[in-house]
Amino acid sequence: MKLKLLGLLIFTCCLQKNTAIAQDTVLPANVVLDERFNYNRYQPYVIPSIHWLQQTPLGTEKALRKRLDNFIMLWLQKNNTVVVNMPEYLIKFQNINNEFYFLYAGGWMKYALQHMGDSVRLNYYMASVNSVLDYYTSDKGVKQSDYLDYLVKLRKEGRLTDLYDTSGKVKNTFVYLRPTYTKSKFQPDENYFNFHFTAINFLDPKSLACRYKLEGYYNEWVPVNDEFVIFPKLPPGDYNFRIQASMMPDFSNADEANFKFTILKPWYKETWFYILSATLALAGILILMRRRERSVRNMAQLQQQRMMFEYDHLRSQINPHFLFNSLNTLTGLIEEEPRKAIAYTENLSDLYRNVLAYRSEDLVYLQEELEILDNYIHIQESRFGEALNVELQIRAEIRQTKKIVPLALQLLVENAMKHNVVSKTMPLHIVIHATSDSITITNNIQAKISKEKGVGLGLNNLRRRYAMATNKPINFGVVGDKYVVTLPLL
């Protein structure tokens, strides 16, 4: 027993000694991680440190990993030799595992130090991405990721460099369906489907948009912001689920993935049953069943379309955050300026009463729409003060004679405030100008650093509502340093 304890003690001491030697070998203990130092003199330790990070599994020697992470980041900030480009898609890597941030930067730095003078920027990007993918595929404790799996697939196919191609000659956007189903024919009770997909674009990830269509059930393209689509109870039939991804609003040059499948009919709807049951009574039953099936399918489609429209509409008009902020503002006014609190409450009440009153209308007079907008602006001005400036340039005759889709102006003003900074130092200016044919909403662009999820839903909602009322299009986009939306007046 004493010999075993002695042996264990000797083994532990050796292990600790070896760990200390490993740390000194990679990055000597006398290297002080202090941002005030010029790190050029520590350049010989950069590549060994990066190599250690690339070869060591997660969860082992955490203290040394943290020290090396800090060292390469501080060296990167203070050196005069290497500058690493941090693209937007790096956030995707970092969301999968925070260590990928250091592996990406390390791959770039290692290549830069080993290939001084190389002016081909693509080589640096490839070294960075390969550093992440090599670590992911070497079983070092990183959880499975569809996004990384598909990047590995692109690398095996020799198409990883296509993600950086801006010539338009090759495809630089990809979308993949997770291979959840191993068969294409399903029994009638196997009618719950959950499709997971992954879209990849390195050039402009923020502009990447996806839409889906289930041919055979609902033959319209539907925009989607999540990475999955669920169909809980599909009736029997032949289907083709299609998912597209593109950086262009009109989905030109979109990449597409699809899955074709069939839900078999139940036994009582097979041909042999109809033949055996070819009597007048059974024929009548079959007619009723077919009518019921068509009715259920049509009702399901109509219900889905109606629910999607109303959900998007209400979501774009009644924002819980807006209500929360409004109540907070009201609380402050009650304590400090009771008279203003009464006027504020009246404006808030009028706004929501009009939202409920007009949301089912197809068109309203511009004057009525401006009254709703006036309530909304008064509420927001109570919160933002001089940081918000809304200017109306609309003649009286246009207000009284022209019509517009209800709540459109309030939605566009809300969108402008949602996606731009509104502060005293950076006031938001919104100009609403109308002619006899159209009304234009213009705001200065001062985009927030982090965008809210669901960008574009309000405009898509508005486009669908206008399509139900007229064939005149709505136009929106960036013009110089302004964001401009033009709506037709009817």
Task: Evaluate whether 330 touches 379 at the Cβ level (below 8 Å).
Answer: no
10 has a pLDDT exceeding 60: no
Q: Domain total for the chain?
A: 3
Identify each DSSP E strand in 148-280 by its residue range: 173-177, 185-186, 193-201, 209-215, 218-224, 228-231, 237-246, 255-263
Give the tens place of pLDDT for each residue, 68-117: 999 999 888 888 889 999 999 999 999 999 999 999 999 999 999 999 98
Residues 203 and 260 in one domain: yes
Residues 199 and 111 in one domain: no
Asked if residue 432 belongs to a domain, the reply is yes
Asked if residue 303 belongs to a domain, the reply is no
State the residue for tokens 């900030």: 77
Average pLDDT over residues 273-301: 76
Task: Evaluate whether 68 touches 27 at the Cβ level (below 8 Å).
Answer: yes
At residue 9, the pLDDT reads 37
Average pLDDT over residues 149-165: 94
325 has a pLDDT exceeding 80: no
At residue 330, the pLDDT reads 64
Nearest alpha-carbon partner for 241 in 219, 217, 215, 221: 215
Report the distance separating Cα 263 and Cα 113, nearest Å. 58
Confidence of residue 359 (pLDDT cuts 50, 70, 90): low
Give the end of a domain, one of 245, 265, 285: 265
Confidence of residue 230 (pLDDT cuts 50, 70, 90): very high
Phi, psi of 443 (to 5 degrees): -140, 150
Asked if residue 240 belongs to a domain, the reply is yes
Q: Report the CATH number that the domain containing residue 200 is assigned in CATH.
A: 2.60.40.10
Residues 50 and 116 in one domain: yes
335-342 long-range Cβ contacts below 8 angstroms, 24+ apart: 340/382
Phi, psi of 460 (to 5 degrees): -65, -40
At residue 149, the pLDDT reads 95
Asked if residue 340 belongs to a domain, the reply is no
Asked if residue 14 belongs to a domain, the reply is no
Residues 69 and 135 in one domain: yes
At residue 290, the pLDDT reads 84
Instruction: Return the DSSP state at 451.
Output: P
Please give the structure tokens belonging to residue 145: 């990721």
- Helix residue spans in 359-425 (DSSP H): 366-384, 396-401, 408-419
Average pLDDT over residues 298-304: 53
Report the distance separating Cα 107 and Cα 126, nearest Å. 9
Residues 257 and 204 in one domain: yes
Q: H helices then E strands: how many in the chain?
A: 15, 15
Average pLDDT over residues 49-64: 93
Nearest alpha-carbon partner for 109 in 144, 130, 81, 68: 81
Residues 124 and 173 in one domain: no
* 174-178, 200-204, 300-304, 367-371: the lowest-pLDDT one: 300-304
Report the alpha-carbon angle 281-285-286, nearest 5. 115
Give the range of the structural domain holding residue 255, as residue numbers without chain letter. 166-265
At residue 18, the pLDDT reads 37
Helix (H, G, I), strand (E, B) or coil at 489: coil
Task: Evaluate whether 105 touches 71 at the Cβ level (below 8 Å).
Answer: no
Confidence of residue 320 (pLDDT cuts 50, 70, 90): low
Give the end of a domain, one of 231, 265, 299: 265
Give the tens place of pLDDT for each residue, 21-51: 345 568 887 777 666 666 677 888 999 999 9
Residues 95 and 174 in one domain: no
For residues 195 and 74, which has the higher predicted lDDT (pLDDT)? 195
Asked if residue 36 belongs to a domain, the reply is yes
Report the alpha-carbon angle 28-34-35, nearest 5. 130
Residues 175 and 137 in one domain: no
What average pLDDT does the structure give for the chain?
82
Q: Report the CATH number that the domain containing residue 366 is assigned in CATH.
A: 3.30.565.10
State the residue for tokens 């001491």: 13
Give the end of a domain, one of 143, 174, 206: 143
* 1-15, 276-290, 419-433, 472-486: the lowest-pLDDT one: 1-15
Give the tens place of pLDDT for each residue, 103-155: 999 999 999 999 998 999 999 999 999 999 999 999 999 999 999 999 999 99
Report the distance separating Cα 453 and Cα 67, nearest Å. 35
Residues 395 and 458 in one domain: yes
At residue 7, the pLDDT reads 39
Residues 136 and 185 in one domain: no
Asked if residue 304 belongs to a domain, the reply is no
Report the distance separating Cα 351 and Cα 369, nearest Å. 11
Average pLDDT over residues 323-351: 69
Work out the percent of the chain whose per-residue pLDDT is above 70. Answer: 81
Residues 177 and 138 in one domain: no
Most confident residue range from 251-255, 300-304, 341-345: 251-255
Asked if residue 295 belongs to a domain, the reply is no
Residues 90 and 139 in one domain: yes
Work out the percent of the chain whose per-residue pLDDT is above 90. Answer: 48
Give the tens place of pLDDT for each residue, 426-456: 999 999 999 999 999 999 999 887 665 554 5
Which value, to the nearest 10 degrees, does the dihedral of the CA atoms of residues 284, 289, 295, 301 take? -150
Task: Evaluate whether 391 touches 430 at the Cβ level (below 8 Å).
Answer: yes
Strand-strand pairing, 193-201 and 388-393 = unpaired
At residue 457, the pLDDT reads 57
Helix (H, G, I), strand (E, B) or coil at 199: strand
Confidence of residue 411 (pLDDT cuts 50, 70, 90): confident
Most confident residue range from 11-15, 143-147, 274-278, 313-317: 143-147
* 116-125, 247-256, 376-385, 474-483: the lowest-pLDDT one: 376-385
Average pLDDT over residues 484-489: 94
408 has a pLDDT exceeding 70: yes
8 has a pLDDT exceeding 50: no
Average pLDDT over residues 408-435: 90
Average pLDDT over residues 193-222: 93
